């Protein structure tokens, strides 16, 4: 028997942080379009000068390129530059989505802070870096959930919210205080929201990726260090892809997941905080 996911026709998805060519957000947006959704894709409006080299060579245009992919699948697309850490910008985004599509059904909170100067011990961590990470990862998720939940409740159509977290919220490794703490809080917030919003037919879940081969991880390189990390810490012996995460998100949005809410699902290939005994 072949299981076909259902529940996407006539639905509108909003995917934040969807502008990078090699990214989880792009894969989620395209996957939901392929399933039958119209899709709103947001990005921060990063300057092309800051794009990864492969994007520059490909003539990549951030969320505009992702929107083109969605339209090529026969679905409507709306690219919007929006800052999830700004509650007014999130309100404006929700108003634009309602104006363009009339409603939103699936909210995928994927936007996150970049790997950067916050990855240091707490005693050396500037308060400004802590606040930056918390503002994007935690506050941004709160603003998106709060704003779109208000509209979902008023519209009476139910809906799904999926917050993208990280295996780091379980590993709690040194030098990840801001990032991991923000995602632990996202996991908790999602359970609370699931309890509050279930009465309105709104489901809330978390997808927590492990090591995913995206441009976000380019600072690790793709040589011996990368291969050693994969070999010793991932039971299934490979890094994940954006599609691995996108397929999980699509399932959680589908009718087949209609009784799943308040869960954190780790999609990490069996990742472990300690080196595994692999040859």
Let me know if 51 is a catalytic residue.
no
Choosing from 143, 179, 200, 229, which is the catalytic residue? 179
In angstroms, how far is CA 156 from the centroid of its own chain? 25
Residues 55 and 79 sit within 8 Å (Cβ to Cβ): no
Q: How far is CA 150 from CA 52, 72, 94, 123, 135, in A?
A: 37, 32, 10, 39, 21
Q: What is the spatial distance between Cα 249 and Cα 130, in angstroms, rounded to a whole number?
A: 28
DSSP code per residue over the chain = --------TT-EEEESS---SSSHHHHHHHHHHHHT-EEEEEE----GGGS-HHHHHHT--THHHHHHHHHHTT--EEEEE--TT-HHHHHHHHHHHHHHHS---EEEE---PPS-TT-S-GGG--HHHHHHHIIIIIIHHHHHHHHHHHHHHHHT--EEEEEE--THHHH--TT-HHHHHHHHHHHHHHHHHHHHHGGGTEEEEEEEE-SB-SGGGGGG-SSHHHHHHHHHHBTTSS-B-HHHHHHHHHHHHSGGGTT--S-EEEESSSB-SS-----
Ramachandran bin of 26, using left for φ above 0, alpha for ψ from -120 to 50, beta for the remaining angles: alpha
The residues annotated as belonging to the active site are 179
């Amino acid at each position: 028997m072949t299981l076909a996911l259902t529940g996407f026709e006539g639905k509108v998805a909003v995917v934040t942080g969807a502008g990078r060519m090699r990214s989880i957000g792009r894969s989620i947006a395209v996957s939901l379009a392929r399933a039958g959704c119209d899709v709103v894709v947001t990005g921060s409006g990063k300057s092309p000068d800051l794009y990864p080299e492969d994007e520059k060579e490909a003539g990549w245009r951030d969320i505009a390129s992702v929107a083109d992919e969605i339209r090529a699948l026969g679905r409507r697309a709306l690219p919007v530059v929006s800052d999830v850490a700004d509650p007014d910008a999130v309100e404006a985004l929700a108003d634009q989505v309602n104006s363009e599509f009339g409603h939103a059904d699936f909210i995928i909170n994927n936007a996150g802070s970049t790997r950067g100067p916050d990855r240091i011990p707490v005693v050396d961590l500037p308060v400004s870096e802590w606040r930056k990470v918390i503002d994007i990862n935690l506050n941004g998720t709160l603003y998106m959930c709060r704003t779109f939940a208000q509209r979902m409740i008023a519209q009476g159509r139910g809906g799904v919210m999926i917050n993208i977290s990280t295996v780091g919220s379980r590993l709690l490794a040194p030098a990840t205080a801001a990032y991991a703490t923000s995602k632990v809080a996202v996991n908790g917030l999602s359970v609370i929201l699931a309890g509050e919003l279930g009465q309105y037919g709104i489901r809330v879940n978390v997808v927590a990726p492990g090591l995913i081969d995206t441009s976000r991880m380019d600072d690790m390189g793709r040589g011996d260090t990368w291969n050693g990390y994969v070999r010793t810490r991932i039971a299934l012996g490979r890094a994940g892809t954006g599609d691995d995460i996108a397929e999980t998100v699509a399932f959680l949005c589908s009718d087949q997941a209609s009784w799943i809410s308040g869960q954190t699902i780790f999609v990490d290939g069996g990742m472990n905080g300690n080196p595994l005994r692999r040859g």
